[in-house]
Structure 1
Amino acid sequence: MADGISSFWGPVTSTIECCEKNYAYSSYIAEFYNTISNIPSILLALIGLINALRQRFEKRFSVLHISNMTLAIGSMLYHATLQRMQQQSDETPMVWEMLLYMYILHSPDWHYRSTMPTFLFLYGAVFAVVHSVIRFGVGFKVHYVILCLLCVPRMYKYYIYTQDVSAKRLAKLYVATLVLGSFCWFCDRVFCKEISRWPINPQGHALWHVFMGFNSYFANTFLMFCRAQQRGWTPKIVHVLGVLPYVKIEKPKTQ
């Protein structure tokens, strides 16, 4: 989109721009709504992190929530500047996050405990280095979608083996926010010319950020519930102020 005010960060060097007018509100923020729409993701990840630490969940979940925050902050930097380097601070954490999800989903059945995390760590490190040199473009999106699809069968297995109604509702909310967010992202990318002529831009990419913030929170909470069941911690889904769900556990005294 064309610039509105002078640019503090200089010419756009990122390979992707969204359907939002650049520097419309501030010379320091290229895409205002796409930047601030990451705030809910940070707050939700912080809530998840506090719950994981307070109830002494395994460290993997603390790392997962921190990963969500890192991704949201990277996205803020990218949309605020529209610079190639900051674009990597958005895209690389996306891949790291999916590798972490793969570890959490598959680790209970992994026979050699050090092999899987070592492989995933090396894969993430190599990707970060290669991605800093090569502009993948469409290749990045294909790669990311493949990583997401690799998680789907395992996530579905967790769903069908979970009997708790509240936990199943979390999984359904995860799917619903993913579908709604993807729809907003698709419309913003494909129908930008038409949307730009509307009196008000619905900011589809910003809505994608908000939906995906809740999507990550619901996914994390569902996985925490499933893991607590595996460990025999008698988990149950409770709600903050009757609205936001989280997992409450009761560990055996021997643990």
Structure 2
Amino acid sequence: MNSTVGFWGEPTSTVDWCENNYEVSYYIAEFFNTLSSLCLICAGIFGSMMHSKGFDYRFSLCFIAITFIGFGSILFHGTLIFPFEHFDGIPMIFYLLILFYSVNENKKERKFGNWFPITLFLWGSIFSILLIFLGEYYENRIMKLVEFYIFQGTFFLMSICVYLHIIAIVINLKDEKGIGALMIRGSTIFLIGYIGWNIDYHFCTEMNKILNPQLHAWWHVTASYSCYSLLLIAIFDRSKTLGKNPKIKWVCIILPYVGLSDESEQYLPSKVMSSAERELLMQEVSVED
């Protein structure tokens, strides 16, 4: 929503969101949308830290992609310059492609050949090039809208495909404690955020007549939490298939993560003593006394 011109000049992005530009800081176009993007970075870093050992590298790539989405969102909302819009959108596409690969190749034996990941990578690369090419015409309003809806349409269809696969995984894991609750929580939070995204996009004028609740900023918060939570289901399923006995665990009853049954042993200074070893140690202590 154009209100004033700040450090980065007039917005050239496809969409100027409902937050008043440069209202809080002369150097940040959309302060609250930029600040809330930190949630994506935190989700990616937290996920990388909690799943750094014992998990497939594909999931590390997913968490890295979430982190890049956050940085891209900061560049985009902080400047509202059209080229920086790609730093926000392209990592989102690659995140979905990696997750799409993960929910399809979730068995011990690969169902598809090398052509599958190569095709997905080429798809993401071609899509990125298309966005960048269309960006050359950012001064043309029609071309900007074409690019926007190509991205939104592709993102929506890919999200539906991934979500349907995750539903199938949850049904298969219906007896696993915590999976159903994680699915319901992640889906509910995502739906609330997505409704807020649409209200912010379509009813900005009406909201500003009353009070702007910064719904797009809240969308960043809900999207980071829900995408992270649903990714955990794919991680859990893959780990269970590989026989690693995963468990859904929580930090402060808010932040979930997948723990492996042998993870506590990784941090023990030494192995647990057997009863015979313990008895021998007690005898040695008695002799010394």
TM above 0.5, one fold?
Answer: yes
Cα distance in 2 for residues equivalent to 1:48 and 1:113: 28
> Alpha-carbon deviations, 1:116-170, whole Å to 9, x = none?
1111111111111111011412222111111111212211110101121311111
- Following superposition of structure 1 onto structure 2, how do residues 1-255 of structure 1 map, counting pairs within 5 Å? 1-4=1-4, 6-53=5-52, 55-108=53-106, 110-134=110-134, 135=144, 136-162=147-173, 163-198=175-210, 200-250=211-261
Residues 166 and 230 in structure 2, CA contact (< 8 A), matched pair in contact too: no
Cα distance in 2 for residues equivalent to 1:190 and 1:167: 34
What SS does structure 1 have at the residue aligned with 2:250? strand
RMSD, aligned α-carbons:
1.7
Cα distance in 2 for residues equivalent to 1:121 and 1:138: 21
Cα distance in 2 for residues equivalent to 1:82 and 1:100: 28
> Alpha-carbon deviations, 1:4-31, whole Å to 9, x = none?
3x41112211111111000001121100
Cα distance in 1 for residues equivalent to 2:205 and 2:163: 33
Larger radius of gyration: 2
How far is 1:239 from its partner?
1.3
What SS does structure 1 have at the residue aligned with 2:256? strand
Cα distance in 2 for residues equivalent to 1:129 and 1:49: 28
Cα distance in 2 for residues equivalent to 1:247 and 1:24: 41
Residues 64 and 100 in structure 1, CA contact (< 8 A), matched pair in contact too: yes
How far is 1:75 from its partner?
0.8
How far is 1:243 from its partner?
3.1
What SS does structure 1 have at the residue aligned with 2:178? helix
Structure 1: runs of 5+ lacking an equivalent: none
What SS does structure 2 have at the residue aligned with 1:78? helix
Residues 38 and 210 in structure 1, CA contact (< 8 A), matched pair in contact too: yes
Structure 2: runs of 5+ lacking an equivalent: 135-143, 266-289
Residues 232 and 251 in structure 1, CA contact (< 8 A), matched pair in contact too: no
Cα distance in 2 for residues equivalent to 1:2 and 1:47: 35
Residues 43 and 66 in structure 2, CA contact (< 8 A), matched pair in contact too: no
Q: Could you tell me the TM-score, scaled by structure 1's length?
A: 0.93
One-letter amino acid of the structure 1 residue matched with residue 258 of structure 2: V
One-letter amino acid of the structure 1 residue matched with residue 214 of structure 2: Q
How far is 1:114 from its partner?
1.4
Q: Could you tell me the TM-score, scaled by structure 2's length?
A: 0.82
Q: Aligned residues, how many?
A: 250
How far is 1:251 from its partner?
5.5
Task: Give identity over the alignment, percent.
Answer: 29
> Alpha-carbon deviations, 1:67-117, whole Å to 9, x = none?
000011101110000011101111111111111111111113653341111
Cα distance in 2 for residues equivalent to 1:190 and 1:92: 24
